[in-house]
Each structure stands twice: as structure tokens, then as C-alpha cells.
Structure 1
Amino acid sequence: MTSTLMDRPASVARMFIDRVTTAGSREAFRLPGAGDSWESVSWQTTGDRVTDLAAGLLAVGLEAGERVAIVSGTRFEWILADLAVMCAGGATTTVYPSTIAEDVAYILSDSQSRVVIAEDAAQLAKVRERRAELAEVHTVVLIDGEPGPDDAGWVIGFDELARRGAELLAAKPDAVTERIATIAPDDLATLIYTSGTTGRSKGVRLTHAAWTYQGSTLSSEGILRPDDLQYLWLPLAHAFGKVLLTAQLAIGFATAVDGRVDRIVDNLAVVRPTFMGAAPRIFEKAYAKIVTTIAAEGGPKAKLFDWAISVGRKVSEAKLAGRSVSPLLAAQHRIADALVLRRIRDRFGGRIRFFVSGSAALAPDLARWFHAAGMLILEGYGMTECAAGASVNRPDAFRLGSVGRPLPGTEVTIAEDGEVLMRSPSVMTGYHQLPEATADALHDGWLATGDIGELDADGFLRITDRKKDLFKTSGGKYIAPQPIEGKLLALCPYVSQVVVHGAGRNFCSALIALDPDAVKVWAATQQLGDLPYSELLASAQVHELVQGYIDRLNAQLNRWETIKKFVLLERELTIEDGELTPSLKIRRKKVEAANLDRLDALYTS
């Protein structure tokens, strides 16, 4: 292990203070302002604000090791709050803003959170609704808005918390510094409740050492640089977003923060970041938008686009295979790049060194399309239980379709049944108050991931599916649904989500949700633009469109994997309806159960 890893700070709080000391006036964060403007915030300004907020938490009585819950979307104040909690010696309980009041109450109660930092009146209402069940919560801090008349003594504003902290520091200037000095590497830093696809969420206990290992490792690997600019939209209640923040503390690059998903593409063109982390869904949507828009225009423009992508693919294939590019192909590529490929990259700001994909499986064909356009997607692998990172592709050592090699200090092995097992300094200490679940997951320091995978001769890890998602047909054939679903998403820009079904059945079928915007663009080219979306879905033309892509998919599959029939869902799957986790994974069993009658009909007709 490198000296960088051995000498890592004792806590995330210490890592942050060290960064403020060394970086000072350098840009730390960039925040959206009026219109398309962005405002820069220095490390020193960030450090001053965090110190005041941390002292404010001490002023309201937060003791070392106590939990503070953050119920908010991704924004600068979330980051300030999280850093303040750790600098005050507390531990952050993360709560997705989409969580319903009942589940918010469960998380706050199970975590024994003493303070809640709520984004706005809507999040405050969830806490207030269940106040009788939350006797341990003594203070709620409201980021946006003012406390109501009935909240006196219980709810205070974000600025008021900082004001109380400034008062405490005036009397005890070293109050926060002294608390930071008491934090040990094995102290709890974060309690993240898994958004799992089944069952009630479990609190994953992650120490300061888990996060500092992640930050120091990414620093030592040289994947990210101090002069990088990150665009951060990821949910910070998720480990993927949190680990990128920790990497920022270790490396010192700046981060532009805006959690509004509908603003990603527009913001990228303005911010012009050098890298961004995202779930595969974001890349799928971007690909679909570009391809369907060009297809709808048709004519010479569409032919030029297809030619340019085909040239890009040839160059990409040569580079990936380690072959030289012929002079003729290189000349064609210069033309293709000038006329088409560069414009695709400009949609993402034009300066992207690479994207990082995580949280779910990325379709290899989608990664190849982006590579053909001149943009590298580095897929990584991890889970909440190991503070997000276990393996990742590197810019100078990657294989599309894999999740890269394990991080230094992390060991990965494959069990006899194909399950991926890992051992790492960032593995959780256990599930909060769940000793039996902890014992099931941890065995002699090894974490059973629940994922099926394989390691190649060069140490690159490939994840083939979730162990619990594998199913067997009535003919005795095992099916891994995720690779099939990924292939269809990469083939068909009109498909938004897909669930392959077939457990105990004599063939595979699929539940398919289309992208309404993409379908409407296509419909306009077919003189169907006046039809309501529901009638479009029921039309023979749309079924023929989808069937054409299913046929192309089936040509790439084993006979027993092929999709014989499908159902088009009336709408996209959503977090709000409980069909997706907050990290955009499909709760496939819930989706299948909700559509069981329609699935049954496929096998009786």
C-alpha cells in the first residue's frame, strides 16, 4: 500500500480542515446564480461557514457520536451541513428527499438522530407529522424558509444555527478544533439507509476511515486531478455522491453543484466540467435524445450523422484493440469529428476528460457509442456497504464492459457460486442494530455483495447480474436479465426502462416503458403527431417499431434468452410510485407484481 494511503488523515473532518488550510482562496464550489450565471465559493469561505455551523451544532447540544439527519436534495447547503456534522464530531444520517413521512420517521427513529436538517417546508412537514414518534429529535434546522409559530423552540433556521455557532466561537474559539481532535478513524461518520429493491431499508454504518481510504486511494491513483472541475448532481444521500465529495477533499478540485436532474445537459454546456459521475440512466437519456432528434430530421443530416458515428466506431474499435488507425480512416475521422462528433461533445461542455458511471450496470454498447463520439465512460463498481468504491476503470487502463480493477488495498474474489466477495478498509462495520443481517453479509472480514461476476486474467472485474435477479425458466435455463435489458436500452433509443420476465415460464417476455418525448418526436415523422400518447402506445405502428428492435436484440441472444412477447407500459417507472429506488434501480419484483395479470396473459394467449 502506498504511503499516501498509510498516512491518510484520522477523520473526514481533519481532511476537510487540511484542505481549507492548503487551498485557502482557491475555488472549492461553483453554485448556480441568476439565469445561466454561476458563483464561485472559495475553500476558505466554505471552511468559515462550516466552522460556524459545526459550532452551532455544539451550541444546540450535539454530543460526540450523535446522529444528525439531513433530509434534502443535492445542494451546497447539504455539503455544508454534512461537513459541519462531522466537524462537530457527529455522524450524518442521510435521507432521500423523496422518502415518504412514514419512512422518514422510521429512519430518524432507528438511527436515534438528535438533530434534523430539513431542506424546506415540505421536508419539515414530514418530520412534524411524525413528531410524536421522534422524542429523541430535539432540534430541526430549516435550510429554506422560516419556522412557523407552532415550531418555536424546536425549529430554527440555517442562518440561525450559524449565528449561534459564531456566538459560541466568540467565547470558545477552539471549540470546533478541539472536537475534531477527538475523532478517531473508527468513529462513525455516516449512516446511510439502503434504498434496496426489496424489504425495509437497513442503516449501513460507515466510519471516517472508510471515507478517508476512498479519498486517499482516488488521490493516489491519479484518476482525478487538482485542476479538474466536477459537475455534481448525484443524490448526496447515496454513497456514490458522497465518495466524490470525499475525493474532492483529498485532491482539491472544484465542484459545480446543482441537484436538478432536468438541468444537467443545459448546465454542462455552461459549466464545461472535466468530469461527471452519473447513473447509467443519465447516459441512456442523453443518447436517446441525440439519436431520436437526428432521426426525426432525416435526410442528409441523418445520413451524415450515421456516417460520422460509423467512422467514430471504427476508430474506437482500433484504439480499443491496440491497432493503429490507417491514414485514410484518420482523414475520415477528422472530417467526421469536425462536422458531427465535436458537436456531440459540445452538448456536454466540450471539456469532458471522462464520465464515471456507477450505481447500476452500464450497457457496454452504450459505452461504445459514447467512445465513438470521443467521450470515455469509466464504469466503476461498489455498494453502500463499502462506501461506494471497490473497483474502477482508469483513463489509462480500462475495458468497456468491465468495472475495472480493484482499488489498491481492496481485495476481490469470486465464490464458488459466482458471487463477488470483497475485503477492504472501506467495508462497513455492520448494519445499524441488525446483528443477524450483519452476520449474513460479513464473513471473516469479507463482504458478500450479492452480485454475480467474474475476474479476467488481467484482474478486470465484470458484473453479470444481481444474484437475486437470476431466474430459471421452466425449461431449466438460467437467465441473467440485466445484460439483456442493457442491450435493448443501447439498441433502442425509444425504450426508457425494461424488465425481462420469465421465472418458471417457458419463454422470456418483457415489460417495456417508452420515453414519451422520444416517441412523440418519432410520431411526428410518421404523421401520427396528433394522437394522444395512450393511443400511440396502442397503435400498430409503435408496436412494429418496438418489435423491430426486439428482433435485432434477439439476434444477439441465445435462443432461450430471446424475448418472445412484450407489454408496453402506459408510463415510465418512477421513484414516487415506488417502482424505482432513489438511485434509479428498478424494483423489478414490485413492477412484475403490479403487472402480473398482463404478464400471465402473454403466456395464455
Structure 2
Amino acid sequence: MEYLTPLQNLKNNISRHPNKIFLHQPVNRQWQEFSWADVDHQARCIAAALKSQGFESGAKIGILSKNCAQWVITDLAIMMAGMISVPIYPTAEQTNISHIIKHADLSAIFIGKLDNPEEVQSAINDDLLSIAFPYPTPATTVQFSDWLTEFEPLLNVHQNTINEIATIVYTSGSTGRPKGVVLSYKNMASVAQNLVELFKLSNNFRSISYLPLAHIVERSNGYVALYAGFEVFFVESLDTFIDDLQYAQPTGFISVPRLWTIFQGNVLNKISQNTIAVLLNIPLLKHLFAKKIRNALGLNNAQWFVSGTAPIALSLLHWYEKLNMPISEGWGMTETSGASCLNYPFTKRGLGTIGKPLPCVEMTLSAEGEILIRGDAVFTEYYLAPQATEASFSNGWFHTGDCAVVNGQGEYTIIGRIKDKFKTSKGKYVAPVPIESLLCTNLDIEQVCLIGSGMKQPVALIVLTAMKNKRDIELVNRLKNTLSNVNAELESHQKIDYLLVCDEAWSVENHLLTPSMKIKRNIIEKKYDALTTKEFSDLVIYEEDMF
């Protein structure tokens, strides 16, 4: 397949439909629209401003902001100036922001919408050029809007070659310091163009951008929009998410397991599980109920649904499939430029699998069951980390760290990370993900983390869907029944000793989830270590009773 760069695709879209709207940005509940020509004009102005600073070709430019139209425009401007973008999570802690600024040797940084401006203010030195997007931000050197009026559009933009470095994406850092993944235009283009072809996307498509653009999933989605030429809608805030979703009416929807669980929980808070079970068993009522749910979410026009970034419980996939919302589970990494494997076109038989690899990669399993991958989408190096790079490859194959099994149809099923396996005091290994998936068949359980390193038996830390009713006797009995049923399927060394009900949900804000909403197992285990070393006779224990 011949790959095009983003700027080539931008040029193509402008030539086809310059006045067609590309980006939709809500500001104080008013929607601003940016045509393809508008985006090109603004990007050229910002590129001219960057060039005027005297930065060398290949200079690294940071983007630290929640998703917005200016994020995308700036990314294009950096390409036009022949420089390299370095996105930073808007929820990043001060130490990680400082680390990335120093490690990547940023020449400048764009700052936009943030929830924690104090963290940013303390992380950025005064001598680093900082540019503020047109939203409330910490103090910066200059304003994005001023550059748009002070500089004429750059006429001769840099002509990117397909093998040039496009971006350095720092991993979300579930353990330790984030590593800088160096991605080329070829890496990113290979995934984008294959997804456009796989989903048969056109410029009539509509998407909503709300997962962090600093994460490879949303960044890859942005490339897909450029390649297919479709409209992108942004979210103003968490409080307006559903309203913005209903306004956007996306024709496809990508989310993460945590949000699919929250959507489910919102439904269960309004309608009992028993009532839903009755509705789903009557064909006409099932259709009407499913349509009502989709309309309430703003997903009535969605033609497909995708979940990625972390394992999703099979029971959750079955629940949505019954609501006529068949979720295609996907898998990929920062190091593979996003999606590499996908259960699409959706098959019910493939529920619980991540489907088959995209044409731009090859996948196989090592003797230990680890996924090995190579191809156009796979990165070649970690930035300034040759030893880490060398340790991650063997004979051209990248070692992903994810364990899987593959069926006769060539479909892969993730069974967890190699590093997540733990050994109990009995000396046998336990893989937590499959067991956590079994526990999640109970819809009362919203989050779960199985731990047990060095313990006589594993313990399941859980967060309940309805925290206010967590001591309800019927709920407790359901939890005990679930524990009994799950243990009946496990080998003796895997059996769960008890369920520990945690006081609060794990979130990005309390640093127990990564920005892409994966659980930080090592941090969660450390937080509850003092509790799980105690002996209990009950099957359901409450954290609040331990103090």
C-alpha cells in the first residue's frame, strides 16, 4: 500500500471541499466551526510563527491541553514547520511534565484547556517559550490568537517524507517514568489508511474526540479523520459530554472499558437488572428499549462501536450486544501506532477476542504466549533509550508484553500482561485478567483488581456500581454467590480468598488509573497492601471497617 502523509491528505481535502466543515469546537455552549480551508490557514500562520523563532528543523514542540480544535491545528502547524510534536497528557503530574520537557528537550510548548493549571505552572520554566490556546490557561509567553494575526500564512510548508519522524509519544506510564516512542509518518499512516479501508470511511462520517489526544488511540483517530476527510466534534467538558455527544451524532463510537462500564451503570441506576432481563427477552420491547438507550446516549446514528486501551469483560460485551450495540474489541499499543488487531467486521463468535491483525502488521506468539509483532505500524526506537529499544526487539519482532491465545480462525484473545502475573506463596503463577473478567459477570462490580503476590490465596479488590447501597443484604448475597461460582471454575491456587470492597472508585484524579484508564496495579496493590495481609473469615470485607 502506498502511504500519504497528513499534509498530503490535508491538501487533498482542501482541493475537494475547502468550505466543508472539518472541526466543531464548543465554547461556552456555542459551537465554533472550522472548515478545511480555515484549518489550513490557521496552521500555516502558526507554522510561520514557529519558523520565526529560529528553531531548527526537527525541533521538538510540546502540546499540553485537553482535546480541542487548536490541538489539531497546532499538530498540523508543527508538521508544516518541519518540526516534531510531543503531546503531553493534560492530567499529567508535575514530575512527569518536567521529565518530558527535559527529556525531549522541548523548544516550545502549547498550553490549552486544563483541570490542573497549578501542576503545569510549576513544571514549566520561564525560559521555555509557551503559547496559550484561546482558553483560560496558566500564564504564558504569547497567545495563540495573537500569532494568528501577527503572522502571514507560511507559503512553502515543509514537505514531509513518509519515513520522517512525525511525533514522539510518551507512554501513559502505568509503572515508572513514561518512555518516548518515536513514530514516523509511515507508522501512523499505515494504521490510519488500513482503518479507513476496513471501516469503509468517507467524508460523510462524523466522529467525536474526547479520549486524550496525547494517547495513541485518539491521535490515530485524528489521522483517520485527515485521511477520510470527515468531521470531528470536540467535547467542552465532562459535564457537557452527553449533550455534546447528542449534538455530534457520531456515525461510529470508540470508547474504553471504564466508560462502557459507566454507561452501563447509569442504565442500571434507573432500571433494575431484572426489568432489563425481561425487556431483552421480548423482541419488540428489546428493540424499543435498545433504541431508547442509544438515543439517550446520542448514539442512534452510530454504525459501529469499538472498545480499546484495556481488557473489557466478556459479560459487558454480551450485555451491549443484546442492546444492539455490538462492540468490536481492539488491541494495539503506542509502539504499534494504535490499533493493530480488531474484531471487525463484528462477529458474535468473536466476542471476547481482539479479532485478527490489520494488514499493516504481522503477529505471532512466543513460546511463553507473548504477542510478538512487526510491520509498517511498529516503531523502531524509544527516544534516547537504546538499551530499552534493544531489549524490546528480537529478530525484528517487537515484544509487546501482552499474553494471548489464538484460535483456529486466527483470532487473538488477550489473557493479560506478562508482568501482571503473580506467584502466590504456594509457588504457582496466577494471571489476573481472565479471573477479573469472570467476576465482572456480576453487574454490581464496576472495577476489579486481583492481587496475591506472596499471599496464600488471591484477593479481589472491587469497586461497586452503586456505592450507596453497598451493604444491602441482597447485593452482598449476590457478591458471595459470584465469588462461589467463580471459585468453582478455578484451580485451587487461583481461588479467591475474599472480596474487599473499596471506599472510592479508582480514577485518573486519584492516580489509580492511567490517563487511558488502565488500572495501575502496582499502585493499587501498594495502597491496599496493609489490608490484604490480614486474615478474614467473611467472604465480603469493607475497607471502611478496617480502621
- CA shift at 1:444, angstroms? 3.0
- What TM-score do you get using the length of structure 1 for normalisation? 0.83
Name the structure 2 match of 1:452. Answer: 403
The 5-angstrom pairing of residues 52-131 of structure 1 reads 52-119=45-112, 126=119, 128-131=121-124
Specify the SS of the correspondent of 1:107.
helix
Name the structure 1 match of 2:333. Answer: 383
- CA shift at 1:128, angstroms? 4.8
Say yes or no: does 1:245 pair with 2:222.
yes
- CA shift at 1:48, angstroms? 1.6
Between 71-80 and 388-397, report the one with greater CA deviation.
388-397
Name the structure 2 match of 1:32. Answer: 26
C-alpha separation in 2, matches of 1:263 and 1:446: 43
Name the structure 2 match of 1:314. Answer: none
Whether contact under 8 Å (1:223, 1:394) holds in the other structure is: no
C-alpha separation in 2, matches of 1:78 and 1:20: 19
Between 16-25 and 387-396, report the one with greater CA deviation.
16-25
C-alpha separation in 2, matches of 1:378 and 1:42: 31
- CA shift at 1:546, angstroms? 3.4
C-alpha separation in 1, matches of 2:32 and 2:111: 24
C-alpha separation in 2, matches of 1:450 and 1:97: 26
Whether contact under 8 Å (2:360, 2:377) holds in the other structure is: no
Amino acid at match of 1:356: V
Amino acid at match of 1:381: W
Amino acid at match of 2:335: E
C-alpha separation in 1, matches of 2:362 and 2:73: 33
Between 451-460 and 122-131, report the one with greater CA deviation.
122-131
The one-character-per-residue Cα deviations of 1:336-359 (angstroms, maximum 9, x if unpaired) are 313x22212222221121111110
The 5-angstrom pairing of residues 77-476 of structure 1 reads 77-119=70-112, 126=119, 128-131=121-124, 137=128, 139-144=129-134, 155-166=141-152, 169=153, 174-176=155-157, 179=158, 181=159, 183-258=160-235, 260-295=237-272, 304-309=275-280, 311=281, 332-338=282-288, 340-349=289-298, 350-395=300-345, 399-476=350-427
Whether contact under 8 Å (1:365, 1:490) holds in the other structure is: yes
C-alpha separation in 2, matches of 1:401 and 1:23: 41
Specify the SS of the correspondent of 2:319.
helix
Amino acid at match of 1:157: Q
Distance 1:553 1:109, change over 3 A: same
C-alpha separation in 1, matches of 2:242 and 2:124: 39
C-alpha separation in 2, matches of 1:73 and 1:125: 15
RMSD of Structure 2 on Structure 1 (CA): 2.5
Specify the SS of the correspondent of 1:595.
helix
Say yes or no: does 1:561 pair with 2:494.
yes
C-alpha separation in 1, matches of 2:390 and 2:175: 19
Distance 1:511 1:303, change over 3 A: closer
Pick from 501, 509, 517 the counterpart of residue 584 of structure 1. Answer: 517
More helix by share: 1
- CA shift at 1:248, angstroms? 0.8
Q: Which runs of 5+ in 2 are unaligned?
A: 539-547
Name the structure 2 match of 1:499. Answer: 449
Q: Would you say how many aligned residue pairs link Structure 1 and Structure 2?
A: 536
Distance 1:303 1:385, change over 3 A: closer
Say yes or no: does 1:600 pair with 2:523.
no
C-alpha separation in 2, matches of 1:600 and 1:241: 40
C-alpha separation in 2, matches of 1:397 and 1:511: 32
Whether contact under 8 Å (2:424, 2:457) holds in the other structure is: yes
Distance 1:205 1:259, change over 3 A: farther
- CA shift at 1:273, angstroms? 1.3
Name the structure 2 match of 1:513. Answer: 463
- CA shift at 1:215, angstroms? 1.5
Whether contact under 8 Å (1:192, 1:237) holds in the other structure is: yes
C-alpha separation in 1, matches of 2:65 and 2:113: 8
Amino acid at match of 1:346: N
Say yes or no: does 1:15 pair with 2:9.
yes
- CA shift at 1:397, angstroms? 5.2
Between 473-482 and 241-250, report the one with greater CA deviation.
473-482
Amino acid at match of 2:467: V
Amino acid at match of 1:268: L
C-alpha separation in 2, matches of 1:587 and 1:98: 15
Name the structure 2 match of 1:316. Answer: none
The one-character-per-residue Cα deviations of 1:154-212 (angstroms, maximum 9, x if unpaired) are 7000111222332xx4xxx5232xx2x2x222221111111222111111111111111
Specify the SS of the correspondent of 2:269.
helix
Whether contact under 8 Å (1:23, 1:252) holds in the other structure is: no
Whether contact under 8 Å (1:455, 1:461) holds in the other structure is: yes
C-alpha separation in 2, matches of 1:99 and 1:116: 14
The one-character-per-residue Cα deviations of 1:201-245 (angstroms, maximum 9, x if unpaired) are 111111111111111111222343432211221100000000011
Between 267-276 and 101-110, report the one with greater CA deviation.
267-276
Say yes or no: does 1:479 pair with 2:430.
yes
Distance 1:453 1:282, change over 3 A: same
Whether contact under 8 Å (2:432, 2:450) holds in the other structure is: yes
- CA shift at 1:131, angstroms? 4.9
Whether contact under 8 Å (2:447, 2:463) holds in the other structure is: yes
C-alpha separation in 2, matches of 1:244 and 1:121: 21
Amino acid at match of 1:341: A
Distance 1:333 1:593, change over 3 A: same
Distance 1:156 1:472, change over 3 A: same
C-alpha separation in 1, matches of 2:16 and 2:297: 31
- CA shift at 1:548, angstroms? 4.0
Whether contact under 8 Å (1:391, 1:406) holds in the other structure is: yes
Whether contact under 8 Å (2:463, 2:503) holds in the other structure is: yes
Whether contact under 8 Å (2:166, 2:184) holds in the other structure is: yes
Distance 1:146 1:382, change over 3 A: closer
- What TM-score do you get using the length of structure 2 for normalisation? 0.91
C-alpha separation in 2, matches of 1:39 and 1:306: 42
- CA shift at 1:476, angstroms? 4.2
Specify the SS of the correspondent of 2:339.
coil
Whether contact under 8 Å (1:73, 1:236) holds in the other structure is: yes
Identity between Structure 1 and Structure 2 (%):
26
Whether contact under 8 Å (2:257, 2:310) holds in the other structure is: yes
Amino acid at match of 2:454: G
- CA shift at 1:564, angstroms? 2.3
The one-character-per-residue Cα deviations of 1:4-56 (angstroms, maximum 9, x if unpaired) are x22x22x3222323223223222212222554x64443222222222222222
Whether contact under 8 Å (2:175, 2:520) holds in the other structure is: yes
Distance 1:554 1:165, change over 3 A: farther
Distance 1:206 1:46, change over 3 A: same
Whether contact under 8 Å (1:71, 1:123) holds in the other structure is: no
Amino acid at match of 1:30: H
Distance 1:437 1:355, change over 3 A: same
Whether contact under 8 Å (2:356, 2:411) holds in the other structure is: yes
Whether contact under 8 Å (1:55, 1:164) holds in the other structure is: no
Whether contact under 8 Å (1:511, 1:567) holds in the other structure is: yes
